[in-house]
Structure 1
Amino acid sequence: MKFDERHLIQLAAVVKAGGVTEGAALLGLSQPAVSRTLSMLERRVGEPLFIKGRRPLQPTPLGRALADHGQIMLSASRKASDTVESFRVGHSGVVRLGGTPFFMDGLIASMIAEFQNLYPDVRVDQTYGYFPDLRAALKADQIDLAICPIDILDEGSGLEFQQILPGRNVVACRVTHPLLMKRKPQPAHLLEFPWIAPPPGSPLLADLRSMLLSFGATEIKIRYSGGSLMSVVNYMKAADALTILPHSVVFALRNQKSITALPISIPHPERALGLLKRSDAPRTPAVDQFARHVRTGFENLKHLIKRHEQSVIWGA
């Protein structure tokens, strides 16, 4: 015998509410409509579904058994509705995110955790890459959003870039570095120490070479290269080597009290960190919600970094 699922759902609502009027209200239906459904269902099964004369309504064993099936359907229907609503407002779904390693490790990872504390039903799938790789991944629909620094976005690229933080590089070192003992360290002093090179493909690597050449270096003393942010930080903690890092990353690590920025102004290209996505990408509420969270986080971070920069006397 085949049943109409809607009839079983109405039966479940009446049993749960203890009355036809109350059950109808639970489903947003009229009382006469639900009464007709129950009568139709009783005729179809050939057995009473409720014990006569009982108030509130008491189901018969058969009525209870059918109502249990209807309750499963009702619960599934409500879960489906909740899922749709949660997806529409960006409280569930998947965010496919790509970004440059140092920024992702130093800044974005904690923002992802904060976001998922608010929206635990959103899954974030993260990959690493630099601008050329991230651009290709966006166009191939392998990621929804990229967080990376870029110099310029070509017109007609089919991508949208929204700046979230101005670029600024600094020379990073351990907090007990000898240069910090100098009253006013100069760029020439930087050439007396070995360097840690950023990973291949990183724009920081080109920045490092350009900076040292501008200070008169004839050769670059690279002591260590290719490490992750954690390995670079751990290396610096135990050595006098220097490296170049975005100031925002050094600032984000300030509470560890292991590395800091030398108060020496250095040249660096005009570059900004931002959110990159395809112009024609379909709207995904969870991605939009995450992007808003990141923008808010960086808006707060921007003011803190600015205040910190103003408290440091940067050398010429």
Structure 2
Amino acid sequence: MKIDERHLVQLAAVVQAGGVTEGAALLGLSQPAVSRTLSMLEKRLGAALFVPGRRPLQPTPFGRALAAHGQTMLTASRKASELLETYREGGSGVVRVGGTQFFTDGLVTQMVAAFQNTHPDVRVDQSYGYFGDLRTALVADRIDLAICPIDLLDEGSGLVFEELLPGRNVVACAPTHPLLVKRRPQVGELLDYPWVAPPPNSPLMADLRSLLLSLGEMEPKIRYSGGSLISVVNYLQATDALTILPHGVVFGLRHGGGVAALPFKVPHPERALGLLRVKGASTSPAVDTFARHMTESFAALRHLIKRHEDRVVWGA
């Protein structure tokens, strides 16, 4: 004999609440409807579900056993409803985000951590890439969002770009570097020091080459390459080497004796760091909630960075 699961759920609610009226209220049903269900269920099963004449209601052993199965379904239904509500509010799900390596490690991961402190049921899958790779991943639906610097978004690219920060890259060094203690360091003195190579094929490497070409140097004097952001920072702190880093990353590492920026302009195209997504793509509430968090976090960071930049005299 097949028993309607809804009837078992109603039985469980009545047993849990201690009365038909209370059980009906628990389920959002009317008391007469639940009474009819229980009466029909007893007739169909040919066995009493409650001890006759007892108030408050007392289930029979058979009624209690059936109610236990209904309670399992009632609990599962509630959990499913809670999950649905949490999903709709952006509190659960998966966010796939891609970004450039150094900027992601230096700033974005901290913002991801802050997001998950308030949205612990959202999983974030992070990957690395530069604009071309990230655009391909977005179009192929391998990632939901990309956070990266771009020079110019081509017309008809099918992507939506939201600017987060100006794309300023700077010459970075240890806070104790000899050029920092000079009152008026000359840009040509950059050629007196070795360099840590940024990731190959990155905008950082392109800007390093542009800077040195503007000084008449065809090739950078590379002493160290291939490291992660943390290894590059550790290397800079122990040497007089220089490198190119996003100013936002240098700003984020300014405390605790991280790295510092030299007051020289790095020649590079007009560039902005922004949030990229596919135009018109349907995204989950978690993705939209994450995107709002990143936009708000960068908005708060932006004016702090601007204030910091205004205190530095950027030379030619």
- Provide the TM-score with structure 2 as the length reference: 0.97
The corresponding residue for 2:69 is 69
The corresponding residue for 1:253 is 253
Q: CA deviation at 1:267?
A: 2.2
What does residue range 181-196 of structure 1 map to in structure 2 within 5 Å?
181-196=181-196
**Pair 1:14 & 2:14 matched:** yes
Q: Deviations over 1:39-92 (max 9, x none)?
A: 011111111111122222111111111111111101111111111111111100
The corresponding residue for 1:214 is 214
How many angstroms apart in 2 are the aligned matches of 1:219 and 1:67? 78
Instruction: From the superposition, tell whether residues 218 and 29 of structure 1 become closer, same or farther in structure 2 (CA, over 3 Å).
Output: closer
How many angstroms apart in 2 are the aligned matches of 1:307 and 1:157? 34
Q: CA deviation at 1:218?
A: 4.1
Alignment check: 8 A CA contact 2:144 2:283 kept: no
Alignment check: 8 A CA contact 1:106 1:252 kept: yes
What does residue range 223-234 of structure 1 map to in structure 2 within 5 Å?
223-234=223-234
Q: CA deviation at 1:230?
A: 0.9
Q: Deviations over 1:20-57 (max 9, x none)?
A: 11111111111110000000111111111111222221
The corresponding residue for 2:153 is 153
**Pair 1:283 & 2:291 matched:** no
Q: Deviations over 1:222-256 (max 9, x none)?
A: 11222211111111111111011110000011123
The corresponding residue for 2:269 is 269
Alignment check: 8 A CA contact 1:149 1:271 kept: yes
**Secondary structure in structure 1 of the residue aligned to 2:52:** coil
Q: Deviations over 1:76-124 (max 9, x none)?
A: 1111111111111110000111110011100011111111111111011
Alignment check: 8 A CA contact 1:184 1:315 kept: no
Alignment check: 8 A CA contact 1:197 1:225 kept: yes
The corresponding residue for 1:90 is 90
How many angstroms apart in 1 are the aligned matches of 2:90 and 2:244? 37
Alignment check: 8 A CA contact 2:207 2:266 kept: no
What does residue range 69-218 of structure 1 map to in structure 2 within 5 Å?
69-218=69-218
Moved more, 178-187 or 304-313: 304-313
**Secondary structure in structure 2 of the residue aligned to 1:256:** coil
**Secondary structure in structure 2 of the residue aligned to 1:29:** coil
Alignment check: 8 A CA contact 2:197 2:225 kept: yes
The corresponding residue for 1:42 is 42
**Secondary structure in structure 2 of the residue aligned to 1:254:** coil
Structure 2: stretches of 5+ with no match in the other structure: none
List 4+ stretches of structure 1 deviating above 4 A: none
Q: Deviations over 1:115-136 (max 9, x none)?
A: 1111111011111111111111
**Secondary structure in structure 2 of the residue aligned to 1:147:** strand
Alignment check: 8 A CA contact 2:211 2:267 kept: yes
How many angstroms apart in 1 are the aligned matches of 2:265 and 2:207? 13
- Over the matched positions of the two proteins, sequence identity in percent amounts to 72
Alignment check: 8 A CA contact 1:185 1:264 kept: no
Moved more, 221-230 or 144-153: 221-230
How many angstroms apart in 2 are the aligned matches of 1:279 and 1:313? 40
Moved more, 243-252 or 209-218: 209-218
- Provide the TM-score with structure 1 as the length reference: 0.97
Q: Deviations over 1:182-233 (max 9, x none)?
A: 1111211111111111111211111110111112324421112222111111
How many angstroms apart in 2 are the aligned matches of 1:9 and 1:210? 71
How many angstroms apart in 1 are the aligned matches of 2:200 and 2:38? 72
The corresponding residue for 1:305 is 305
Return the letter of the residue paired with 1:216: G
Return the letter of the residue paired with 1:179: L
Q: Tell me how large the CA RMSD over aligned residues is.
A: 1.1
